[in-house]
Amino acid sequence: MSEAAIQRPPEPPRGWSRQRIAGHVLMALWIAAGIGLVVYLASAYDPDLFARFAPNYLSGLKVTLSLVGLSALLGALLSVPVAWARTAKNPLLAGPAYGFVYFFRGTPLLAQAFLIYYGMGSFRPQLEALGLWVFFRDAWYCALLAFTLNTAAYQAEILRGAVQSVPLGQWEGGAALGLPRWLILRKIVLPQALIVALRPYGNEIVLMIKGSAIVAIITVLDLMGETRRAYSRTFDFQTYLWAAVIYLAIVETLRNIIDRIERRITAHLKR
């Protein structure tokens, strides 16, 4: 029977199923909420308020981004020896590395920040003797330290997982070609591992940007800190809504960038 001879039944008319009604109602609610937000922010627009707080928000944004950027970078550096120690056969190396990773992944970032910022105050005389007190006195440095250690633990696990996801045959292939281990790692294993690691790395950075809001509690004036300060001065709810809009914009931009990079570097895997 030829293709044309098959009589297909006509498409059933698209009625108003329950799902369709629910979907339209929910979308209408979202759209109404979006319009409501825009209208509210526009009607509550106050040039004085803007002139007073917009520069604060900008400097808060800078603090957030520099804190996340710097600790992500330092954490990446620190994660390499941790991941290496974690996979070592020597239990004296693997044990402490496991403990480090377990501690920083198992406790809230807020508790870690408190432990460093407030807790280190217990050792003030010793720290002053060592000349380290200047560092621990400043909330920004404490936040940086807490974030670096925290993300180092997460990134070490990402790195370890990614390197271990590369089949052993790749190492053996390199060894059969007489390449030194370091070269195999750098030229053969890491490029494959990074494809696997890209998405978790991206998620980790997104999580850090979101998590960085907690430094406002230990008195760092990041975006969240500036928002809380503005709210405590004005009791105007739009201060929080602006912060929400900014955070959402940053996170969505980042997600899009990661998606794009992933599409690019996995182009050879597509069929």
Partner 1 sequence: MEGTAALLAFGPDGWGDELASGVLVTVSLALATLPLGLGAGFAVALAKQSPERSLRMAADIYTTIFRGLPELLTLFLVFYGAQLALQHVVSLVAPGASIEINAFVAGMVALGAVFSAYASEVFLSAFRAIPPGQYEAGDALGLTRWQTMRLVILPQLIRLALPGLSNLWLILVKDTALVSVIGLSDIIRQAGIAARVTREAFLFFGIACLIYLGLAMLSSVAFAWIERRVGRTEPAR
Nearer to partner 1 by Cβ, of 94 and 241: the residue is 241
Closest approach of partner 1 to the CB of residue 60, in Å: 13
Closest approach of partner 1 to the CB of residue 18, in Å: 9
Closest approach of partner 1 to the CB of residue 181, in Å: 33
Nearer to partner 1 by Cβ, of 109 and 162: the residue is 109
Nearer to partner 1 by Cβ, of 33 and 265: the residue is 33
Distance CA 31, CA 178 (A): 63
Nearer to partner 1 by Cβ, of 7 and 232: the residue is 232
Closest approach of partner 1 to the CB of residue 78, in Å: 19
Closest approach of partner 1 to the CB of residue 187, in Å: 34
Nearer to partner 1 by Cβ, of 174 and 225: the residue is 225
Distance CA 95, CA 253 (A): 39
Nearer to partner 1 by Cβ, of 14 and 89: the residue is 14
Closest approach of partner 1 to the CB of residue 190, in Å: 26
Q: Which of 163, 161, 155, 160 is nearest to 189 (CA)?
A: 163
Q: Which residue has the tokens 């599409």?
A: 263
Q: Which residue has the tokens 């000349």?
A: 131
74 Cβ contact list (under 8 Å, min separation 6)? 144, 148, 152
Give the type of residue at 138: D
Closest approach of partner 1 to the CB of residue 202, in Å: 13
- Other Cβ atoms less than 10 A from the Cβ of 251: the count is 15
DSSP 216: G
Nearer to partner 1 by Cβ, of 174 and 211: the residue is 211
Nearer to partner 1 by Cβ, of 15 and 131: the residue is 15
Distance CA 226, CA 228 (A): 5
CB 114 within 8 A of CB 108: no
CB 221 within 8 A of CB 168: no
Q: Which residues bind partner 1 (CB under 8 A)?
A: 17, 19-20, 22-24, 26-27, 29-30, 102-103, 106-112, 114-115, 118-123, 209-214, 216-217, 224, 227-228, 231, 237, 240-241, 243-244, 247-248, 251-252
245 Cβ contact list (under 8 Å, min separation 6)? none
CA–CA distances in Å: residue 178 to residues 173, 181, 182: 9, 9, 12
Distance CA 107, CA 266 (A): 35
Closest approach of partner 1 to the CB of residue 77, in Å: 24
